[in-house]
Structure 1
Amino acid sequence: MNFQVLVDKLIDIIPGGEVGQESIYNGLLSAKKYASNEDLVVIHDGVRPMVNDKVLNNVLETAYEKGNAVTSTRVTDQIQVATTENNSKGYYKRDGLRKVTTPQAYKFKFIMEAYERALKNSNGFSSSSYANTMLLDQGETLYFAEGSDKNLKLTTVEDLDIFKSLLKTERTEWIKE
């Protein structure tokens, strides 16, 4: 299935919360007026401006089939476990790791009920929590949709330098996907 995403008018402007989770929940509360239980809700970070149609279609297709989807890419860097002495005595094997990003897509009823459970139990709303981590903490299974490493999160000066370079660069024939 190929989803064509069309945004043709602004429906609401929703105030954000103190942490990202509150902002997402505020958006879900607003969507409650328009969404049916089976509608797909897409959550995306504004600090990831390079999302493309292919990534968005991947996450929507997976969520349509499985009920939820988190955009992810393979981990290519080595991840080591840091000790309190700022050294390492262990590492994670890359073949079992995925880097999860946004967009993420969920059936409306599924994600709304998860947020309501999180609020009731007072968990999943810390500054480092997100929809996907909250769901994993609740014991849910999440499904991966293929993302892109170009979908950068712009948080550092170095990220902005890479972003500006990507905007100026065209892919050449010799680079394989």
Structure 2
Amino acid sequence: MSVAALIVAAGRGSRAGEGIPKQYRAIQGKPVLARTLSILLSHPGISHTLVVIHPDDRRFYEDTIRTLPSPPSAILPCIHGGTTRQVSVRNGLEALVDLNPEIVLVQDAARPFTGPDLIDRAIEAGRRWGAAVPGTPVTDTIKVIGDQSEVLSTPDRSKLRAVQTPQAFSFSLLLEAHRSAAAANLDTFTDDGALAEWAGLPVHVFEGETDNMKLTHPADFRKAERRLKGEEMTYVTRLGTGFDVHAFGEGDHVWLGGIKVPHDRGVVAHSDGDVILHALTDAILGALADGDIGTHFPPSDPQWLDASSDRFLAHAVDLVRSRGGIVDHLDTTLLCEKPRLGPYREAMRQRIAEIAGLRLDQVSLKATTTEKLGFTGRREGIAAQAAATIRLPEMSE
């Protein structure tokens, strides 16, 4: 019996707080999606695995794949999701049509603690019933309330179950149900079991796992970190610094922190001359002990002429993650008389956080003049100094 796993990883995870999508955030140094993938890829009953991602997340996804021990042949090329979870699942099912598996398991990307026994039960339930979802008993009393928060009823909790993933279905039945819902212009089902019910399929509940938590809120990530603490490798913290300077030249703007800032001068540079992003790139490379920006992007190479400096910073961050590391904090000080940083500071912080895949509170940006001393004081150029704090897996001797 062929079994395909479909991992839904196209969501934004807004309830998990600011920062990169939750499925790409690290817990104990490893992205959540990498943990979920490892579980499914290591299960002997699953022949193929497909991940549905957001179109904007390809770099995060590729970084995640690189953290796996080796490029697994069982992973199919990822595909893009849609505007809702339901659309994303349907896109994944359509991508599996040529494989035509007998059973498909639909798994949340943010469930990194799914056990192999649960997967066994899911496959068996899918084979037996054609539509089945894992569920755990509800321990709290549940109240149904009205518009004014008044209690309308109290269901018998012995008949209630909290539903999880992986949910198991006959591939052909689930695909037909999704196509029917799309034809009816329905695209807001947040659970494939509910969609199957709407399509008239009898859906069964099999035994879930209380440990199979879904990471939804910031507290869930703290709980997951505590759970894994002591089970993973230890990390060493490294600090790197960077400095960059460019002379002013002809022009009507400068690039700073990934933002185009109007100014009465431009800068003389091979790339776009963004001193903030250049200094941050060097700071990260310094923490890695991996050369400097000129090593990785030599000015003698014409391909970097007028290049956008966000590529340099993204590359440095990718190097950290490719080594299983974590970028903890980025701090920059801009040195110039003009332009003034204040009106653009928050936009720059947001752009740096976006490029580096960090939360806003992990990016600091400051500015100072040099009291009209030196080349910056004479308004001959602009400079920036930066510091980057990262964590790398501690290597044994």
Using the alignment, how far apart are the partners of 1:66 and 1:90 within structure 2? 32
Say if 2:134 and 2:205, in contact at 8 Å, map to a contact too.
Answer: yes
Partner of 2:167, secondary structure, is strand
Runs of at least 4 residues of structure 1 off by over 4 A?
none
Offset at residue 90 of structure 1 (A)? 2.3
Residue 98 of structure 2: aligned partner: 33
- The one-letter code of the counterpart of 2:155 is Y
Measured in 1, the distance between the counterparts of 2:140 and 2:230 equals 24
1:89-108 paired onto structure 2 within 5 Å: 89-108=152-171
SS at match of 1:4: coil
* Equivalent-residue separation in structure 2 for 1:144 and 1:169 (angstroms): 34
Q: Deviations over 1:105-138 (max 9, x none)?
A: 1111111111111111122x11x53211111122
For the 8 Å contact 2:132–2:193, the answer to whether it is kept is: no
Change (3 A) 1:6 1:164: farther
Q: Contact between 2:131 and 2:196, CA under 8 Å: does it hold in 1?
A: no
1:5 matched to 2:70: no
Q: Say which one has the larger Rg.
A: 2
- Corresponding residue SS for 1:85: coil
Structure 2 distance, partners of 1:118, 1:34, is 22
Q: Is the 8 A contact 1:80 1:90 kept in 2?
A: yes
> Which of residues 24, 27, 32 in structure 1 aligns to 2:89?
24
TM-score with structure 2 length normalisation?
0.39
Identity of paired residues, percent?
Answer: 27
Q: CA RMSD of the aligned region, Å?
A: 2.0
AA at the equivalent of 1:153: K
What stretches of structure 1 of length at least 5 have no aligned partner? 171-177
Corresponding residue for residue 147 of structure 1 = 208
Distance 1:29 1:74, change over 3 A: same
Partner of 1:15: 80
Structure 2 residue matching 1:102: 3-state secondary structure: coil
Q: Deviations over 1:85-108 (max 9, x none)?
A: 123242111111111111011111
Q: Does 1:66 align with 2:129?
A: yes
Contact 1:50 1:152 in 2 (8 A): yes
1:94-133 counterparts in 2 under 5 A? Answer: 94-123=157-186, 125-126=187-188, 128-133=189-194
Aligned mate of 1:80, from 131, 134, 143: 143
Report the residue type matching 2:86 in the other structure: Q
Aligned 8 A contact 1:80 1:92 in 2: yes
CA distance in 1, matches of 2:230, 2:125: 30
Shift of 1:5: 3.2
2:93 and 2:180 map into 1 onto residues whose CA distance is 14
Preserved CA contact (<8 Å) 1:3 1:61: no
The structure where strand makes up a greater share of residues is 2
Q: Equivalents in 1 of 2:230, 2:148: separation in Å?
A: 41
Higher-RCO chain (CA-CA 8 Å, sequence separation at least 6): 1
Q: Describe the shift of the 1:79–1:69 C-alpha distance in structure 2 as closer, same or farther (beyond 3 A).
A: same
Q: Retained in 2: the 8 A contact 1:45–1:103?
A: yes
**1:6, distance to aligned residue in structure 2 (A):** 5.2
User: After alignment, is 160-169 or 61-70 more displaced?
Assistant: 160-169
What corresponds to 2:116 in structure 1?
A: 53
Q: For residue 44 of structure 1, what is the aligned residue in structure 2? A: 107
Q: What SS class does the counterpart of residue 164 from structure 2 fall into?
A: strand
For these two proteins, the number of residue pairs brought into alignment is 165
Q: Which stretches in structure 2 are left out of the alignment for 5+ residues?
A: 1-42, 49-71, 232-397
